[in-house]
Amino acid sequence: MEVMVKKSRKQQIEEKATKLFRQKGYAATSMRDLAQVLGIEAASLYSHIKSKEEILQKICFRMADEFFEGWKEVEQEKGSQAARMEKAAIAYIKVITKDTDASAVFFNEWRHLSEPHLSKFLSMKDDYEGRFIKILKEGMDNGEFHKADEKFMMLTILSSLNWTHNWYKPTGNLRPEEIGKKLANLILNGLKK
């Protein structure tokens, strides 16, 4: 039996805004657009939120927190760096596929954050990317991975993972864990026989 959970007005606003930000872009979405899809007056939005950017901040920082929460699985992996990279890819894909609208906004609209939120977000982004670089560096140092530019490799890996929100469908044949494993295998082993 499915339980229906009634969403608060604020949750409804954030959900609709997330969809609009993904469809139109943050800059092109107005408060009037948001009010229209909610079927309310634009002025009444301000009794629930301070600004459009408040919603963007919530999306970006909630997603960032989810990525860091998922990283706990990676930290528990005591095996090889390849095993850690696979765990990292799986954890990352789980977050992305949980809400593809929010993922799209996170990846494409964070640049619209104002200070001090932008600096905080960039610091979190650098921290997270540094965790991937650490796996790569340790794998290169112990001979498990070929020597390469760690930053370039990190950007390549994250770029391939980040694109998932564009094609993932929850009704598809692949579960997030399988996608993460397949992408990690492709990243770690390439296409060579």
CATH superfamily of the 53-189 domain:
Tetracycline Repressor, domain 2 (1.10.357.10)
Is it the case that residue 40 has pLDDT exceeding 80? yes
More confident of the two residues 9 and 112: 112
Give pLDDT tens digits for 125-170.
Answer: 999 999 999 999 999 999 999 999 999 999 999 999 999 999 999 8
What pLDDT does residue 34 have? 94
pLDDT at 46: 87
| pLDDT value of residue 157 | 95
**Mean of the per-residue pLDDT values of the chain:** 93
| pLDDT value of position 4 | 57
Write down the pLDDT at residue 193.
57
Per-residue pLDDT band at 9 (split at 50, 70, 90): confident
pLDDT of 191 reads: 64
| Structure tokens, 87 | 């765990």
In the predicted model, is pLDDT for residue 81 greater than 90?
yes
25-51 average pLDDT score: 91
